[in-house]
Structure 1
C-alpha cells in the first residue's frame, strides 16, 4: 500500500488509487483489514463445513425419502441411504434407525424402555453433531461487533488529526486537514464493510444450522413415531 507509485509528487494518493487511500488511513487500517480477512476466511470454512453437513441430496428430499422407507419398514435400506447421503442429518438418522433395529430384536426391554433408548440415541447423535455445525461461529459474530468499533477508533484518530490541523496558528494546514479527514473516512468505511460482511455471513450460517437442527429433530420424532406405531400394530 505504501508503494510510491500509489501517490503523486506531493505525497497524496492518486485519484481512484484504493491502496494509496487505504495507506493514508493510518495504523488502524491493517487491523481492520485483518478483521475483514478473518471474516472471509472463517466464512469460507463455515460454508464448506455446513455444505458437507447437509449431505448430497437437499434436506427436504432426503427427509421425505426416509419417511417413505420408514413407512415401508425398510430399515436396512435407510441405513444404506444414510451412507450414500453423508452429513450430520444422515448420521443422526443412521444412529436412530440402528438403535430402532436393535431394540426391536431385544425381547428383554419393554416398549417404554425401547422408546427411551431410541430417543436417547438420537439426542446423543444430535449433541455430537451440533458442536461441529456451530464451530467458529463465535469468531464471525465477534468480528461483526468489533469491526465497527475498531473503525470508530480509527475515525476518532483521523478527526483528531483534522482538528489539530485546523487549530494551527494562521492559515490551516490543508494537507494535514485532508489527511485527517481521509483517515477518518477510510477507517469508517472498512470498519462498516467488515461488520456488514460478518453480520450477513453469521445470519446466513446460523439459519442453515437452525434448518439442519430442525431437520434432525423432525427425523428423530418420525423414527420414534414409526417405532411406536409398529409396536402398536404388533401388539394389536
Structure 2
C-alpha cells in the first residue's frame, strides 16, 4: 500500500510538471514582444521621416517627434498604436505559444490510433471478460484514456481475486479507483487553459485602455492650438485608438475560439473515460 501511495504521488508531481511553466515563459515572451515592437515594428525603414530631421537623425525612430513620422508599411502603422501595442503583442504571442502547447499535450493524451475504435474494442473485450487482453490494448494506446482504463482494469483484476469484501464494497472500490485515475489525468489536460480564458477577456480590456488613451490624445489635439486643431496630432490619436482596438479584438477572438476548441476536446476525452468506466463497472457486476 505504501508503494502504491508513493507511486501515485510521483505521478501527480509528474502530471503537474507537464507542459510549459508560465512563471518562466511569460517574462521571456515579454522581452520578445518588446523587441518586436521596438526593433521590427519601430524599424526606421517602416517610416518616412522629414528629410531635415532624417539628416540629423542618429538615434532610434522612437526619438523622432510623432508629428514627423509617416508610416509607409503595415508594421509602421501598428507601431503608431503607442506603448500599449507591445502588451497586446505579448498577449497574442502568449495565446499562440500556449495554444501550440495545449495542442500537442491534448494530442498526446488522446493516444495512438482512433479513440472511438479503442473504446469499442475495450467494450467488446469487457463483454467477453478478457481483462488481460484489454490491459494490453491500453498499453498500446498510450493516452490518458488508456491510462485511466488500465488503472480501472488492474483494480478490476485485484478485486476479482479479493475474498474479504462483499460485492457492494468491491463496486465502491472500483468506482473510487476510476475516479482517482481520472483526477490524476485531468491536471495535465487542463493545465494553462486558464491563460487562454483570461486573455480572451483581458486583451479586450487592455485594448480599450489603449483606445481611451488614443481618444484622449485626439481630443487634446482638437482642443489645443487656439481654435485651429492640430491635424497631425489628431490623426495620430485616432489611429492609436483604432490600432489598439483592432489588436485587442483579434487577440481576444483567437483566444476564445482556441479555448473553446481545447475545452471541447478535453470534454470529449472525459466522456470517453466515463463511457469505458461505466462499461468496466457493468462488466464487473455481471461476472463477479
TM-score scaled by length of structure 2: 0.78
Partner of 1:234: none
Partner of 1:5: 45
Residue 153 of structure 1 and its aligned partner are, at CA, apart by 0.3
Aligned equivalents of 2:216, 2:49: Cα separation in 1: 26
Residue 107 of structure 1 and its aligned partner are, at CA, apart by 2.0
Residue 71 of structure 1 and its aligned partner are, at CA, apart by 1.1
Aligned equivalents of 2:284, 2:135: Cα separation in 1: 16
Aligned equivalents of 2:95, 2:43: Cα separation in 1: 26
Q: Which runs of 5+ in 1 are unaligned?
A: 232-236
Residue 105 of structure 1 and its aligned partner are, at CA, apart by 1.3
Q: Give yes or no for the alignment of 1:204 onto 2:244.
A: no
Q: Map 1:71-90; keep pairs closer than 5 Å.
A: 71-90=127-146
Partner of 1:147: 203
Aligned equivalents of 1:44, 1:147: Cα separation in 2: 19
Q: Give yes or no for the alignment of 1:223 onto 2:263.
A: no
Q: Give yes or no for the alignment of 1:96 onto 2:144.
A: no
Residue 108 of structure 1 and its aligned partner are, at CA, apart by 2.1
Partner of 1:48: 104
**Higher relative contact order (Cα pairs below 8 Å, separated by 6+ residues):** 1
CA-to-partner distance for each residue in 1:46-76, whole Å, 9 max, x for gaps? 1111111111122211100100111121111
Partner of 2:161: 105
Pick from 187, 197, 201: which aligns with 1:131? 187
Q: Give yes or no for the alignment of 1:171 onto 2:211.
A: no
Aligned equivalents of 1:181, 1:12: Cα separation in 2: 14
CA-to-partner distance for each residue in 1:151-194, whole Å, 9 max, x for gaps? 00000011111111111213211111111111001000000011
Aligned equivalents of 1:72, 1:174: Cα separation in 2: 81
* Pairwise CA RMSD: 1.0
Aligned equivalents of 1:210, 1:60: Cα separation in 2: 14
Instruction: Indicate the SS of the match to 1:12.
Output: strand
Q: Which runs of 5+ in 2 are unaligned?
A: 1-40, 51-68
Partner of 2:34: none
Aligned equivalents of 1:103, 1:131: Cα separation in 2: 27
Instruction: Indicate the SS of the match to 1:8.
Output: strand
Q: Give yes or no for the alignment of 1:118 onto 2:174.
A: yes
Aligned equivalents of 1:132, 1:147: Cα separation in 2: 25
TM-score scaled by length of structure 1: 0.94
Instruction: Indicate the SS of the match to 1:171.
Output: coil
Residue 144 of structure 1 and its aligned partner are, at CA, apart by 0.5
Q: Which runs of structure 1 show a deviation greater than 6 angstroms over 4 or more consecutive aligned residues? A: none
